[in-house]
Amino acid sequence: MRSPILTIALKDGVDATRDRFLQTVTASLVLAVAVSIVSGAIALASDVATYAAARDQLLALGKPASAIAAPEFYPLKLLRGAIEQIEIMGAVIALLAGYRAAAVERGRQTLALILTRPLRHWQFLAAKLLGGIYLAALSLLAVFVVATLLLAVLAGVGLSGDDLARLAITWALASIYVAAFYTLSFGLCLWARQPANGLLFGFAIWLLIVLIAPQIGDTLDPDNQVAGGVFAQLSVPKAEQDRIKAGYAGYEALRNGIEVASVTKHFERFSFAVLGIKDTYTGTPLAAVLSEKRGDALFILLFTLGLGGLVLLRPISPDRLTKE
């Protein structure tokens, strides 16, 4: 017999996918990701075609193709814009989905009824949260499928099995990241006297951890004051970089502390490394990247689980269960 939690979660997730509003905002996210990829993919395809034409010309002249160095093309680098869209738009959509889920339950007084039945209220809440995770994973699956197809069709560079594995891992962690904001909004809208107030609190927190904290960290980073980085532009060796940074270690610790307080920054660091968007990790074996970035993945997972625990364990006042 299927668990009642799983039954409710699946039904809730399926119902959410039929919500026209959520369909519309998800489609807008897919469109934004597609637009961010298309221009870069076309440019990459042009580079690939230029190299292919030069190679064919050499072969026609009887010269070996090795006469010109074969460039390395990394189509996953084109996903920078897609990741940034998920960080911002994906979190906003999750907040709205959490609000709608909580508002519906309060409007129908479902929780008040559940408290009178053998199914405990925490089980019902757990089912709602699982339904939100299902919704996040399904919505982002559409995003990543479209992104993968665009890269394969427009970039002119085939995606390897390793590339697909990197995309799958990024999708899984993105689902957990987005689910955190669904959970946050759902809990706040249940606890607040009016669901709309909970949504406002959710957006305030979103503003702080998605936009403000990462922006402060980036702005205060001395190496970010020049496009591409000051050290890179001046060709400063790594050993010399470390010596210079040691001179303002306290400042750097504070700046980095503000930055890593944001779950969004952890998601960005993980995804940029796994996809090879950050040059430092371009071409690095996946196993090595995962080993180095496991701390970022763990932070996101614990952040989401922590929010889920608060929703399940915090008692809900009976006067919050009635329709306002």
pLDDT in tens, 249-301: 666 677 777 777 889 999 999 999 999 998 888 889 999 999 999 999 999 99
| Reported pTM | 0.82
Q: Summarize pLDDT for 174-206 with one digit per residue, the tens.
A: 999 999 999 999 989 888 888 888 899 999 999
Domain count, the chain: 1
Given a cut of 60, is residue 322 above it in pLDDT? no
pLDDT score, position 220: 65
CB 133 within 8 A of CB 182: yes
CA separation for the pair 90, 81 (Å, rounded): 13
Radius of gyration of the chain (CA): 23
Sign of the torsion formed by the C-alpha atoms of 100, 103, 107 and 110: positive
CA separation for the pair 324, 194 (Å, rounded): 7
CA separation for the pair 146, 167 (Å, rounded): 12
Domain that holds residue 237: 4-320
Place of tokens 């610790």: 253
pLDDT score, position 170: 96
CA separation for the pair 148, 40 (Å, rounded): 13
Q: Summarize pLDDT for 17-51 with one digit per residue, the tens.
A: 777 888 888 899 999 999 888 877 777 666 666 66
Given a cut of 70, is residue 305 above it in pLDDT? yes
Given a cut of 60, is residue 223 above it in pLDDT? no
Alpha-helical (H) ranges within 228-275 are 230-233, 238-246, 249-260, 263-274
